[in-house]
Amino acid sequence: MKRLRKKWRASVVGRSARILSRRDQRRIIAISITQIVLGALDLLGVAAIGALGALAISGIESRQPGNRVSSLLSLLKIDGMSFQSQAAILGGSAAILLISRTLMSVFFTRKTLFFLGRRGAQISADLISRLLSQSLIQIQSKTSQEMLYSVTKGVEIVTLGVLGTLTTLVSDVSSLLVLAIGLFVVDPSIALSTFLIFGVIGFTLYRMMHKKARDLGIKQSQLAIKGNEKIVEVLSSYRESVVRNRRDYYAREIGSMRMDLANTLAELSFMPNIGKYVIETTVVLGALLIGATQFLLQDATHAVATLSVFLAAGSRIAPAVLRIQQGSLQIRSNLGQAAPTLDLVDSMLDVKPVERVSDEVDVSHVGFIADVELSQVSLTYPGKSARAISEITLKIPQGSITAFVGPSGAGKTTVVDVLLGVLHPDSGNVKISGLPPLETISRWSGAISYVPQDVIISNGTVRENISLGFPAQVVTDDLIWSAIEVAQLSEFVRQLPLGLDSQVGERGTRISGGQRQRLGIARAMFTKPKLLVLDEATSSLDGETEATISDAIQELKGSVTVILIAHRLSTVRNADKVIYLDGGNIISEGTFEEVRKAVPDFDSQAKLMGL
């Protein structure tokens, strides 16, 4: 039993079921058991139709029905009624039983699918929460399109496409089993004939198409991800595509991928129809075969009764076999498409979701001390042999301005990422206000702000971009304008037709690069931080605006701790401390002039910039 349980958990279907909680699994099992019990209604309905057929032939021949039909009429207490009444009751009972079974199946199937759909939405939210609680290295281990697919479409496929279909299959298989048992009791030969015919056809179809369905499912997910990546690539690099005259290449490449995807989807969509046509043909040929055999070997009453039972049973068995065959193909196909999601789920089983936090904008930061300490911090990126940073030890006092300088690839951004808790060091300790970075951020939300070199602008208004991550109801215009003033953006915003409510376009397409960076600075200042980290945050600004913002940063000195990364040395000239990094090591630290004397390359760079 343990071995079987282990195999089930390791199987792809088992992995799919494991994304549900134990309570959810029990609920699905309860619904499946109910569906199994409902299978008895099919058996009773088929039996009533068989009895009706036998009764009709007996009535036509003006003789008494057989023992089984007589026993049924006696059981229903209608043996003393007229032939017409008996036929009406049997026909009506059969219709009520079969229709009731169908309606109840529809009800439970709908309930199951709605439940799984809502559960899928919760699973998506949980996966995103767990994903966001990981480090930047783990986030970047997959492409953005793969992540997007895994937490959205992939979850839908697992919950509705795999588990929803599986639940329906359980219902259909249970109906077949109940019908098989009942038919075998009534007439073993017709039971064996019926299930032999449909069983062989169903199994043959499954064996012929299940592997192909899974392969096509995998291919579909891969083509969808790659196609989306290529579309995002060309839209993101539109200027380069125009200048390099590569737009036609992208159009052809995307068209080719979409054609491959269309062919794959068409093939997947057509595969269930093969089973439909084969099974429809099987019902007709089976009825002819059984009818001919029965009329040759049995009297007319028995032959008609048997044929009636076959047709009645076939009317339930054929759709069930068709649904089972189509469902099996659908599950195989969906399992291939669900692979990225299942891999993501497996990789995050032990990862905790992000901590729930308040949506209120906190600008007081009571008790926060904006000092930073790194002690013997080292980090090596996966797949690299050399350390990105090696045994970095430094202290940044509260209210100071500290600048990191050095050549590209020296480790400046890595130090900042470790400092902010975005990356976790292999060794050493990082403390902000005496606590690890993520604990500090959790305790004093908004006390630390960060401005990247490439500011991400969402497709929204100026107001929405500055208050990014906060619900509209907690955002005040006073906070927005206060941040705008620091970023030297007020004149620009006031000139916009709708002011704060003006659209800036996806990725900030309606504003300049410098305005995007200033919008990023305004976003950082929205919560009135006590620790501000600027990673090349003024690189796209003109000289005058950069000087104005540099003056504004100098004015923060004493009240805000500022950490700068800059290649423009004019930005860091007045810093309290300059730290020169190269090869992941601190080469020198001190004032601007002290580092200049200690590092010839830095001195040469300063001279080239006229400093």
Report d(CA 565, CA 568) in Å as an integer.
Answer: 9
| DSSP H or E stretch at residue 449 | strand 448-451
Among the residue ranges 17-31, 360-374, 382-396, the one predicted with the least confidence is 17-31
Q: What backbone phi and psi angles, to 5 degrees, belong to 526? A: -60, -40
**The dihedral sign for the CA sequence 310, 316, 322, 325:** negative
H-type alpha helices, 11-66: 12-17, 22-60
Q: What is the pLDDT of residue 430?
A: 93
* Greater model confidence, 212 or 377: 377
323-354: per-residue pLDDT in tens? 777 777 777 777 777 778 888 888 877 888 87
pLDDT above 70 covers what percent of the chain?
Answer: 79
Task: Yes or no: say if 428 and 391 are a contact pair by the CB < 8 Å rule.
Answer: yes
Closest by Cα among 449, 456, 386 to 419: 449
Report d(CA 34, CA 115) in Å as an integer.
Answer: 16
Q: What is the pLDDT of residue 182?
A: 65
pLDDT of 570 above 50: yes
374-385: per-residue pLDDT in tens? 999 999 988 888
**The dihedral sign for the CA sequence 511, 513, 518, 522:** positive
Q: What is the pLDDT of residue 309?
A: 64
Q: What backbone phi and psi angles, to 5 degrees, belong to 68? A: -65, -45
Q: What is the pLDDT of residue 88?
A: 82
- Residue 116 CB neighbour total at 10 angstroms: 23
The arithmetic mean of pLDDT across residues 470-490, rounded, is 86
Query: 3-class SS at 429?
Result: strand
Greatest Cα pair distance, the chain, in angstroms, is 121
pLDDT of 20 above 80: no
* Max avg pLDDT among 11-15, 187-191, 449-453: 449-453
Closest by Cα among 223, 209, 206, 202 to 268: 209
Give, to the nearest 10 degrees, the angle between helix 188-236 and helix 144-151: 140
28-64: per-residue pLDDT in tens? 788 777 777 777 777 677 667 666 666 666 665 555 6
Q: What is the pLDDT of residue 8?
A: 43
Q: In what order do the strands lie in the sheet with 577-582?
A: 448-451, 531-535, 561-565, 401-405, 577-582, 585-590
Closest by Cα among 160, 151, 168 to 225: 151
Helix, strand, coil share of the chain (percent; to 5): 65, 10, 25
Query: 3-class SS at 58?
Result: helix
Q: What is the pLDDT of residue 4?
A: 46
Tokens of 479: 């906070």
* Greater model confidence, 329 or 147: 147
Domains present along the chain, CATH in parentheses: 20-347 (1.20.1560.10)
The arithmetic mean of pLDDT across residues 310-318, rounded, is 66
Whole-model pTM: value is 0.69
Task: Dump the DSSP string for 531-565.
Answer: EEEEESTTTTS-HHHHHHHHHHHHHTTTTSEEEEE
Task: Yes or no: say if 100 and 44 are a contact pair by the CB < 8 Å rule.
Answer: no
Q: With bands split at pLDDT 50, 70 and 90, how would you rate the model's confidence at 395? A: very high
Report d(CA 39, CA 175) in Å as an integer.
Answer: 4
Distance of CA 381 to the CA centre of its chain: 27
514-536: per-residue pLDDT in tens? 788 888 888 888 889 999 998 87
Answer left, alpha or beta for residue 324, where phi above 0 means left and psi between -120 and 50 means alpha: alpha
Q: Look up residue 383 and give its DSSP letter.
A: T
Q: What is the CA radius of gyration of the chain?
A: 36
| DSSP H or E stretch at residue 403 | strand 401-405
pLDDT of 11 above 50: yes
Residue corresponding to tokens 């991800």: 225
Report d(CA 266, CA 121) in Å as an integer.
Answer: 28
- For residue 74, the one-letter residue type is S
